[in-house]
Structure 1
Amino acid sequence: MNKKKLVNVLMGVLALLLIVGMAYQFTPNLGDLFGRKQDGTPALTVNGATVTAEDLEAVRRSNPILGSADTGVLADDFKTYIVAQKVEQTLVTNAVRDIRVSRNDVNAKVKEVREANDLTDNKKWTDALQGAGLTDASYREQVRQSLAIERKVDELKKAVPAPTEAELRAYYDLTPERFQTDARIQGRQIVVADKAKAQDLLGQLKAGADFAKLAGENSTEFKDRGGALGPIENGAPRPVAQVALPSEVGAAAFALTDGGLTDVVESGGKFYIVKVEKYLPPAPKPFEEAKSDLTTAVTEQKQNAALEAWVRDLKKDVKIEYKDINWKTENPAVATVAGQDIPYSDVVGQVVNNQQFAGLLQQVPPEQAAGLVNGILKPQTVQQLIQAYAAPTIAERLKLNLTGTRQEQAAALAAYGSRNVRVSAADISAFYAQNKAQYANPASAAVAEANFKDQAGAVAFRNGFSGGNFVTAASKAGGTVSERGTVTAGDGGLSEELNAAVFSAKSLKDAGEGSLSDVVKVGERFVVLYITDLKPATTQPLSAVRDEIEAQVLAQKKTEAGQKFLDTQVAALKPKDNLKAVLAAQEKRVAAQTPKAPAKTTPEEGSGTGSSGTGSTDTGAAQGSEGQSNEGQSTGTPAEGTSER
């Protein structure tokens, strides 16, 4: 067993604090979770609670990204992130110290973990703990802490007032797509056990036979109501959802959005024919029908906001004193909006947890990644944070009954700004015309290839083959045959010459069930292709993709309108973006902290007394001594014992 199994229960508790989608997140590490003794090197204190350098290094080890740069801007960012995460973890842990957790509760949770991991044997349990560098006592202490956090979270959630009618209505109006009925159909079916009989019935139906009459006479299901999928109401079958039909049958039936007959569909040893009389697309549920789901969603948002506010309050007036100058970080306000400062650590936190950033670090060296991040990702992140911090103020000013975290309210404001967006027929036609290529289905065919050493042999074979077994005939004629299988025009399955011979040839020679290409010279070979199941290129008509295009264009127009509305509302608050100044100061600070390479010396300078080398060594020693002195000063002077938000 490894450490990961042991921490699962605790990670689950701390995950409760992550679900709110805050700009920060807790990143617990094994040392934190299992009660590392405070016998390491003190790095800083958080409201008097000591955090060691070992604790901080454990946070670094918990995320591979944080160890990807040792120097430069990214290394400075990672240090800011590590310290900010550890500060937040410490604040949360300190905030639940007074919550009582009984020994029985701890024992029950430990028992649960042991049983789940097959560690009920005492020796196996002790060995597992020792292998992870833990003791039973320290593990139980951290279980106690995790249960205390869980109870605090539950307490905060229970204190949240029930959603008001206005809050429910606002959420309903801004997220109608979340409260939609399923697509349904009105229709009938015929189910029989024999495929031949099903095919015969399908033929009769296509010829105009009455579906209800045939169903009543032949179907093994619902024959008493003429095969109606739902009970007859007001002379028509009651609509049913797709789940009312076997999966294969439902897929075929619900594809008929304009109504009609399916082919014979086999499922579970039975054969189905479905007639779709009317297709009912998804539609918003009435408010009263959606009220239960609305209450659940809005309550969750209000609980998220309560958790966010709790942690935000913990961070107010936090006092951080640095004991180790090597861990001292700068966390200036990167932006200000609606009377609120946005700390730089918020920006770094979102960058570190951005998947694009993780991918970038795998492609380019850290120094190059830093330039791209500073030039693109950080400016975007700052603007997103400004919008999130501003959202509650904007919502209040517009008298909107929005709920949730800052980010959730920002998303709701964008939805509010795009609530009247519609898509016209002209929009759909224009999109189709501009993107017609994406609705094209390229030509395809099954291809076999016969290679000949000389052109005469290839020509003789082509002229003589009129059908039968291509492989046998080509081999007998001295050719070497390769089965290419089904290929698509232009997909690289065939060389350029062969692709043209199959899909661009003006004529192919009929040969039994397939066709023969002309003789094609490829390198030193002469090739004849045997082509079957040739399907020409087609383009889906607008009518077939109209709904898909409408949804795509609507989403795009809503995104643009929502962002424009949000930008306008935020601009009215006159936010101040300090990112450029913060990054410039960081670059200057990092450059000053980076050791300079020793000057190159000539052989003459390097011989003699060796003063140059000694001087370099002495300088390094002096710098180290100075660092030690500063570290000592930081524990007792206000200059180093700074407070940060």
Structure 2
Amino acid sequence: MKNKKFVNVLLGVLALMLVVGMAYQFTPNLGSLFNRQTGTPALKVNGETVTVEDLEALRRGNPVLSSTDTGLLGDDFKTYVVAQKARQVLYIQAAKDINVSKADVNAEVTKVREQNQLTDNKKWTDALQGADLTDAAFRKQVRDGLAVQRKVESIQKSAAPATDAEAQLYYTLNKANFVSDARIVGRQIVVTDEAKAKSLLAQAKAGGDFAALASANSTENKDRGGALGPVENGAPRPVAQVALPAEVGTAAFALTKGGLTDVIKSGGKFYIVKVEKYLAPAPKPFAEAKTDVLTAVNEQKKNAAVEAWGDKLAADMKVEYVDLNWKAEDPTVAKVAGQNIPYSEVIGQVVSNQQFTGLLQQVPADQAAQLVNGILKPQVVQSLIQGYAARTVAQNQKLPLAGTRQEVAAALVAYGARDVKATDTDVQKYYLENIKQFETPASGTVNEASFKDKAQAVAFRNSWTGGNFTQAATKAGGTVSEHGAVTGGDGKLGTELNAAVFTAKTLKTVGEGSLSDVVQVGTRFSLAYVTDLKRAATQPLSAVRSQIEEQVLGTKKNEVGSAYVAKQVAALKPTDNLKTILAAQEKRVTAATPKPATPATPATGTPATPATGTDTATPATGTPATETPATPTDK
């Protein structure tokens, strides 16, 4: 556990990997972050050796990748591990020109040791040994991490600043992100005596002049009649919720129709607020939101600069396979707008998909592979195609959109749906089709009395006038079952009794509760005594309109926007090679799978022939494979 915590801190030190697309979807083992000094060579990235131990550590450190190393998923995971490790090495190589001082490294190492309670030298040495590292090796990796981080920061600084056109379009497509806080126009009375506060509230409710009451009694803002904001042109200025103590603000801002709060105690004082006008949140004008808009667009442009840098490095990368057992197949899964999409990107999105990780826990790996290949991977490929096509679509449409591929693709969806509205008809249709989600079922606390004879049950119902139900029903010859809190239709009551309690309108009021009619339950006759009864209710459309409108609008925008992007991308005539790749993979994996031994022939008793070496995967020879460029089409 100590090493695990140590690893988490190191991940923070090397968080730069997340920035440049080297995201580990799960926390890896410590060894996966570092190149060991010794080990069995597996491959070379631009001439730098990556060992089998490095790759195995990365795989073991991820619960998904370590779930299987055989079959279709095992083949996928190998491809992903190699691609991830190669990228990691690539970024470190690209940052060799960045100066990181010994003092910088020492400061980072000290921080790690302090955060992990490893300031004691022996504990520190033990922790490093447990991770198969020396202090010198660890410091080298810290140096590499800081170098990449600074390299990324320098690339981000080189990004061109947002233009007015980019900012204006971003604002248009993201107005919901730039909304003013709700505000109220109102007055308050603040006193230190609760009894006095209650008296003043009663006077205000009776029609008393609130401003006059505040001027005469309030300890705050009495010079302006208790106005929450400064008075301008005879009216108080609106204020945001932060202008009031937390409890007071919550109560006041709940009065969206205006009105008086109850007496609210806060900080030893007693508050009464009169809300004269509630101003709902609304989009800020562009001029007011411009600073935040520019910040958002500039961040997108920084992200895009880093993405482009990573793409350039990957296009020029060369990978040499030393151990052929680690030779990974990473073909081009799709092409669009002159760009090749590597299959490893598909696997990366599958590995990080929560539905996939849940699936692996429920079904065998081979079954999960078939489901993923048939459903998830085709969806991922289409999403990647849209991402890779996004900038070309934006250019063709003359749209000044900034950001990474996926950011531009999301902006295109928003652009395609910019004029979509949720109509009254849409809202009403949704309400009627989903009426059950706005229903509150009936509920109550139920005791049941069961009798052998119907006449007995009816007599008890007619004669009981209150008191202890259990005692009275038992004395009358009944058997009592205490069901406790019951929700209509939850199965705690039989069908007949459930209807008698929650549906019938013939309940008889007795004491603090009600008696149901007598109903037959099997061969016996029952009635129920219910307290705290709440009838089933359906929220009216007016109460849920805004909620429905937001949901309907979001759905319509996504449908219309996605259709717009799909149409634009289709015009670029993308190619999708997924089916071909999956068929070739299945053939390759099947051929490499060892065949089971032939069983003995019962008639002759001849022993089974042992499997030959030709039926197993060919062992690594140690001879390097031909060096090839690891472009997105062939790594």
- Asked whether the two chains share a fold, i.e. TM above 0.5, the reply is yes
The answer for the alignment partner of 2:18 in structure 1 is: 18
The answer for the alignment partner of 1:57 in structure 2 is: 56
Q: Cα distance, 1:201 vs. partner?
A: 5.2
In 2: Cα distance, 1:22 partner to 1:553 partner: 37
Q: Cα distance, 1:92 vs. partner?
A: 1.2
In 2: Cα distance, 1:564 partner to 1:211 partner: 56
Q: Judging changes above 3 Å, is the alpha-carbon distance between structure 1 residues 418 and 22 closer, same or farther for their aligned structure 2 residues?
A: farther
Q: Cα distance, 1:598 vs. partner?
A: 2.6
The answer for the alignment partner of 2:568 in structure 1 is: 569
The answer for the alignment partner of 2:550 in structure 1 is: 551
Q: Cα distance, 1:206 vs. partner?
A: 4.7
Q: Cα distance, 1:600 vs. partner?
A: 2.8
Q: Judging changes above 3 Å, is the alpha-carbon distance between structure 1 residues 92 and 587 closer, same or farther for their aligned structure 2 residues?
A: same
Of 459-468 and 381-390, deviating more is 459-468
Offset from partner CA, 1:257-294 (integer Å, 9 cap, x none): 33334455555666554433222121111222222212
Q: Cα distance, 1:230 vs. partner?
A: 2.0
In 2: Cα distance, 1:535 partner to 1:197 partner: 36
The answer for the alignment partner of 1:375 in structure 2 is: 374
Q: Judging changes above 3 Å, is the alpha-carbon distance between structure 1 residues 354 and 62 closer, same or farther for their aligned structure 2 residues?
A: same
Q: Cα distance, 1:24 vs. partner?
A: 9.0
Q: Cα distance, 1:574 vs. partner?
A: 0.9
Query: Does structure 2 conserve the Cα–Cα contact (< 8 Å) formed by 1:22 and 1:308?
Result: no
The secondary structure found in structure 2 opposite 1:315 is helix
Q: Judging changes above 3 Å, is the alpha-carbon distance between structure 1 residues 640 and 557 closer, same or farther for their aligned structure 2 residues?
A: closer
In 1: Cα distance, 2:205 partner to 2:164 partner: 53
In 1: Cα distance, 2:456 partner to 2:16 partner: 75
Q: Cα distance, 1:189 vs. partner?
A: 3.5
The answer for the alignment partner of 1:590 in structure 2 is: 589
The answer for the alignment partner of 1:110 in structure 2 is: 109
The answer for the alignment partner of 1:320 in structure 2 is: 319
In 2: Cα distance, 1:69 partner to 1:126 partner: 33
In 2: Cα distance, 1:481 partner to 1:265 partner: 45
What one-letter code is carried by the residue in structure 1 that aligns with 2:113? R
In 2: Cα distance, 1:236 partner to 1:473 partner: 65
Match of 2:624 among 635, 638, 641: 635
Of 400-409 and 184-193, deviating more is 184-193
The answer for the alignment partner of 1:287 in structure 2 is: 286
What one-letter code is carried by the residue in structure 2 that aligns with 1:632? T
Query: Does structure 2 conserve the Cα–Cα contact (< 8 Å) formed by 1:20 and 1:405?
Result: no
Q: Cα distance, 1:27 vs. partner?
A: 7.5
In 2: Cα distance, 1:605 partner to 1:402 partner: 77
Q: Judging changes above 3 Å, is the alpha-carbon distance between structure 1 residues 25 and 464 closer, same or farther for their aligned structure 2 residues?
A: closer
The secondary structure found in structure 2 opposite 1:18 is helix
Q: Cα distance, 1:346 vs. partner?
A: 0.7
In 2: Cα distance, 1:453 partner to 1:194 partner: 62
The answer for the alignment partner of 1:307 in structure 2 is: 306
Of 390-399 and 174-183, deviating more is 390-399
Q: Give the 5 Å matches for 1:520-539.
A: 527-539=526-538
Q: Cα distance, 1:53 vs. partner?
A: 1.4
The answer for the alignment partner of 1:48 in structure 2 is: 47
The secondary structure found in structure 1 opposite 2:573 is coil
Is 1:501 aligned to 2:500, yes or no? yes
Q: Judging changes above 3 Å, is the alpha-carbon distance between structure 1 residues 499 and 275 closer, same or farther for their aligned structure 2 residues?
A: farther
Of 18-27 and 61-70, deviating more is 18-27
Q: Cα distance, 1:91 vs. partner?
A: 0.7
The answer for the alignment partner of 2:488 in structure 1 is: 489
The answer for the alignment partner of 1:135 in structure 2 is: 134
In 2: Cα distance, 1:541 partner to 1:49 partner: 68
The answer for the alignment partner of 2:359 in structure 1 is: 360
Q: Give the 5 Å matches for 1:203-218.
A: 204-218=203-217
In 2: Cα distance, 1:284 partner to 1:389 partner: 32
Q: Cα distance, 1:528 vs. partner?
A: 4.3
In 1: Cα distance, 2:499 partner to 2:93 partner: 73
Is 1:429 aligned to 2:428, yes or no? yes
Q: Cα distance, 1:606 vs. partner?
A: 3.9
The secondary structure found in structure 2 opposite 1:187 is strand
Of 553-562 and 473-482, deviating more is 473-482
Query: Does structure 2 conserve the Cα–Cα contact (< 8 Å) formed by 1:635 and 1:641?
Result: no
Query: Does structure 2 conserve the Cα–Cα contact (< 8 Å) formed by 1:42 and 1:324?
Result: yes
In 1: Cα distance, 2:443 partner to 2:14 partner: 54
Is 1:410 aligned to 2:409, yes or no? yes
The answer for the alignment partner of 1:445 in structure 2 is: 444
What one-letter code is carried by the residue in structure 1 that aligns with 2:283? P
Q: Cα distance, 1:387 vs. partner?
A: 0.5
The secondary structure found in structure 2 opposite 1:603 is coil
The answer for the alignment partner of 1:347 in structure 2 is: 346
Task: Give the structure-1-normalised TM-score.
Answer: 0.90
Q: Cα distance, 1:447 vs. partner?
A: 3.0
The secondary structure found in structure 2 opposite 1:507 is coil
Is 1:644 aligned to 2:629, yes or no? no
Of 129-138 and 25-34, deviating more is 25-34
Q: Cα distance, 1:390 vs. partner?
A: 0.6
The secondary structure found in structure 2 opposite 1:75 is helix
What one-letter code is carried by the residue in structure 2 that aligns with 1:358? T
Q: Cα distance, 1:494 vs. partner?
A: 3.8
The secondary structure found in structure 2 opposite 1:347 is helix
Of 510-519 and 311-320, deviating more is 510-519
The answer for the alignment partner of 1:94 in structure 2 is: 93
In 1: Cα distance, 2:47 partner to 2:92 partner: 13
Of 372-381 and 160-169, deviating more is 160-169
Offset from partner CA, 1:417-445 (integer Å, 9 cap, x none): 11111222222222222222222222222
Query: Does structure 2 conserve the Cα–Cα contact (< 8 Å) formed by 1:18 and 1:25?
Result: no
Query: Does structure 2 conserve the Cα–Cα contact (< 8 Å) formed by 1:13 and 1:149?
Result: no
Is 1:393 aligned to 2:392, yes or no? yes
In 1: Cα distance, 2:127 partner to 2:24 partner: 32
The answer for the alignment partner of 2:36 in structure 1 is: 36
Which structure 2 segments of 5+ residues have no match? none
The secondary structure found in structure 2 opposite 1:632 is coil
What one-letter code is carried by the residue in structure 1 that aligns with 2:567? T
The secondary structure found in structure 2 opposite 1:316 is helix
The secondary structure found in structure 1 opposite 2:621 is helix
Which structure 1 segments of 5+ residues have no match? none
Q: Judging changes above 3 Å, is the alpha-carbon distance between structure 1 residues 178 and 3 closer, same or farther for their aligned structure 2 residues?
A: same
Q: Judging changes above 3 Å, is the alpha-carbon distance between structure 1 residues 634 and 196 closer, same or farther for their aligned structure 2 residues?
A: same
In 2: Cα distance, 1:10 partner to 1:439 partner: 49
In 1: Cα distance, 2:188 partner to 2:56 partner: 66
The answer for the alignment partner of 1:254 in structure 2 is: 253
In 2: Cα distance, 1:636 partner to 1:435 partner: 61
Query: Does structure 1 conserve the Cα–Cα contact (< 8 Å) formed by 2:518 and 2:527?
Result: yes
The secondary structure found in structure 2 opposite 1:363 is coil
Is 1:175 aligned to 2:182, yes or no? no
Task: Give the structure-2-normalised TM-score.
Answer: 0.91
Q: Cα distance, 1:404 vs. partner?
A: 1.1
In 2: Cα distance, 1:270 partner to 1:499 partner: 49
In 2: Cα distance, 1:637 partner to 1:117 partner: 45
The answer for the alignment partner of 2:226 in structure 1 is: 227
Q: Judging changes above 3 Å, is the alpha-carbon distance between structure 1 residues 290 and 543 closer, same or farther for their aligned structure 2 residues?
A: same
Identity %: 65
Offset from partner CA, 1:361-406 (integer Å, 9 cap, x none): 1122112211111111011000100010011111122222211110
Q: Cα distance, 1:77 vs. partner?
A: 0.9
In 2: Cα distance, 1:400 partner to 1:152 partner: 30
In 2: Cα distance, 1:535 partner to 1:224 partner: 48
In 1: Cα distance, 2:197 partner to 2:444 partner: 30
